């Protein structure tokens, strides 16, 4: 009917010197048709796509889903409030002011719209009250794992719809902050179990909570012990070694990996220190400044989570963790144990049947058996 189009792949790397495409003399602000300057013929305008992309992203807004996990009383809500400089925790939202420790693990998620310098973000904080608080904490990680997988499932269902939404709402958990109590010794079995199970489905960022109870030496040795234990148990926390893309990435991430878990202190109260109002905790023996890196590592955590690696966290969630879940899920439902084609697609392929040539008749005298065989092949 029609012939195949000839695909000629000509990879001609055309760099600026060769192609007369020079750097623009001035940035073209969006919306203004800036006339090409006097000598500026060679500017094509490809780099304007960055600006277009930024515009579209700002218009769309961003989404971020953070889960906090840890025993009650470790300061999870306070830390969230400190990170986002507003009352994002569930305590500020819930109507019942009294504290109660729930009998089973609950999963509570609260969403907020926040905006900064024109960038809008829908932040969802997922709290897990009741984690680690029961007497028998076996399988305490299960409800959390189920929640995370449910979010993946929801996204998957939406994605394989025929009539799908323009933008699939992303409720997948991007990052899970795990609070380690500041015992100063080592990780508890509960910690190891949780992180071992969940580090394969979500990005875990472990932090040492209430770090103001540890001196600097205690803190360092504690961190070292934790890092060794994580390594010994094969737990890969964010930033994962295997997802480093190139040498630059690795360099940056190695620095971070040497510092985790971050020893943090949270506070939403401001105090006067040296003439400035700072967030901190005031005690009789001094004031701990939250954002002072000599005091605690909150600033590092904030920079990692928000200012530098937020997009990376989201990317790893969507392109690695979610894909792993998707592969597993689609394989399950295709689920015959023998010989499925590796690309189980929507075109239904016939499986090769088991042998219909099974000869059920008993053998007779030799000469006649040979005739049986011949007939079988004929058929």
Partner 1 sequence: MASSDVAQQLDNSARPLSLSGHVGFDSLPDQLVNKSTCQGFCFNILCIGETGIGKSTLMDTLFNTNFENCESSHFEPQVKLRAQTYDLQETNVRLRLTVVNTVGFGDQMNKHDSFQPVVGYIDRQYETYLQEELKIKRSLHNYHDSRLHACLYFISPSGHSLKSLDLVTMKKLDSKVNIIPVIAKADTISKSELHKFKIKIMSELVSNGVQIYQFPLDDETVAKVNTTMNGHLPFAVVGSTEEVLVGNKMVKARQYPWGVVQVENESHCDFVKLREMLICINMEDLREQTHTRHYELYRRCKLEEMGFKDTDPESKPVSLQETYEAKRTEFLQDLQRREEEMRQLFVQRVKEKESELKDAERELQGRFEQLKRLHAEERNVLEEKRRVLEEDQSSFNKRRAAAQLLQAQSLNVNGKKDKDRKNSGFM
**Which range touches partner 1 (CB under 8 A), out of 159-167, 174-182, 189-197, 281-289?**
159-167
Within residues 229-258, the interface with partner 1 by CB under 8 A covers none
Smallest separation, CB 361 to partner 1 (Å): 6
Measure the CA–CA gap between 116 and 85, rounded to whole angstroms.
11
Structure tokens at 340: 């499925």
Torsion angles phi and psi, residue 59, rounded to 5: -65, -40
98 contact partners, CB below 8 Å, separation of at least 6: none
Interacting span for partner 1 (CB under 8 A) from 4-12, 96-104, 183-191, 252-260: 4-12
Sheet holding 270-273, edge to edge: 270-273, 276-283, 286-289
Q: Which of residues 87-146 bind partner 1 (CB under 8 A)?
A: 87-88, 93, 111-122, 124
Q: How far is the CB of 113 from partner 1 (least distance, A)?
A: 5
Q: How far is the CB of 311 from partner 1 (least distance, A)?
A: 4
CB 268 within 8 A of CB 81: yes
Residue number with CB closer to partner 1 (167 or 284): 167
Stretch that binds partner 1, among 6-14, 126-134, 223-231, 254-262 (CB under 8 A): 6-14
Rounded least distance, CB 195 to partner 1, Å: 26
CB of 150 to partner 1, least distance (A): 15
Rule CB under 8 A: which of 273-332 touch partner 1?
Answer: 302-303, 306-312, 315, 319, 323, 326-327, 330-331
Distances (CA, A) of 284 to 74, 287, 288: 21, 8, 11
* CA-closest candidate to residue 256, choices 235, 277, 237: 237
Alpha helices by DSSP H, 243-297: 247-257
> Would you call 343 helix, strand, or coil by DSSP?
coil
Q: Applying CB under 8 A, which of residues 26, 100, 103, 166 lies at the interface with partner 1?
A: 166
Residue 352 is a binding residue for partner 1 (CB under 8 A): no
Tokens of 141: 């990680």
Q: Specify whether the CB–CB gap between 262 and 297 falls below 8 A.
A: yes
Whether the upstream peptide bond of residue 239 has omega within 30° of 0, thus cis, is yes
Distance between CA atoms of residues 148 and 103, nearest Å: 21
User: Nearer to partner 1 by C-beta: 294 or 350?
Assistant: 350
Question: Smallest Cα–Cα separation from 240: which of 209, 206, 267?
Answer: 206
Q: Which of residues 219 and 314 has its CB atom nearest to partner 1 in the complex?
A: 314
Q: Contact region for partner 1 (CB under 8 A) — 41-49, 65-73, 94-102, 188-196? A: 41-49
β-pairing, 119-127 vs 108-116, is: antiparallel
Q: Which of 101, 139, 142, 164 binds partner 1 (CB under 8 A)?
A: 164
Nearer to partner 1, 92 or 215 (CB): 92
Site string for partner 1, 354-373 (x = CB under 8 A): --x---xx------x--x--
């Amino acid at each position: 009917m029609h012939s195949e189009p000839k695909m000629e792949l000509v990879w001609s790397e055309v760099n600026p010197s060769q192609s007369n495409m020079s750097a623009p003399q001035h940035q073209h602000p969006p919306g203004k048709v800036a006339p090409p300057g006097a000598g500026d013929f060679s500017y094509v305008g490809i780099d304007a796509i960055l600006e277009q992309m930024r515009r579209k992203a700002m218009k769309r807004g961003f989404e971020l889903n953070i889960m906090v996990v840890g025993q009650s009383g470790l300061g999870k809500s306070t830390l969230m409030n400190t990170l986002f400089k507003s009352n994002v925790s569930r305590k500020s939202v819930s109507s019942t002011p009294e504290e109660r420790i729930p009998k089973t693990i609950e999963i509570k998620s609260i969403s907020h719209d926040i905006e900064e310098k024109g960038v809008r973000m829908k932040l969802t904080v997922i709290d897990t009250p009741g984690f680690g608080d029961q007497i028998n904490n076996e399988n305490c990680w299960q409800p959390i794992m189920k929640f995370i997988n449910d979010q993946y499932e929801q996204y998957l269902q939406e994605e394989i719809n025929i009539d799908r939404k323009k933008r699939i709402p992303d409720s997948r958990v991007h990052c899970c902050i795990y609070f380690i109590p500041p015992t100063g010794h080592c990780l508890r079995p509960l910690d190891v179990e949780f992180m071992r199970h969940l580090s394969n489905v979500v990005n875990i960022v472990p932090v040492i909570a209430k770090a103001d109870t540890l001196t600097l030496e205690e803190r360092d040795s504690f961190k070292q012990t934790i890092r060794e234990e994580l390594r010994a148990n094969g737990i890969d926390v964010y930033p994962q070694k295997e997802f480093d893309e190139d040498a630059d990435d690795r360099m940056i991430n190695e620095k971070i990996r040497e510092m985790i878990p971050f020893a943090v202190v949270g506070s939403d109260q401001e105090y006067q220190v040296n003439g400035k109002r700072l967030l901190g905790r005031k005690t009789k023996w001094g004031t701990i400044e939250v954002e002072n890196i000599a005091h605690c590592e909150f600033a590092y955590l904030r920079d990692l989570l928000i200012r530098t690696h937020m997009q990376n966290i989201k990317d790893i969630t969507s392109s690695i963790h979610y894909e792993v879940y998707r592969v597993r899920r689609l394989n399950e439902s295709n689920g015959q144990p023998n010989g499925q084609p590796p690309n189980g697609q929507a075109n239904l392929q016939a499986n090769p049947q088991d042998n219909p040539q099974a000869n059920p008749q008993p053998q007779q005298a030799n000469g006649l058996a040979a005739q049986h065989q011949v007939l079988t092949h004929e058929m």
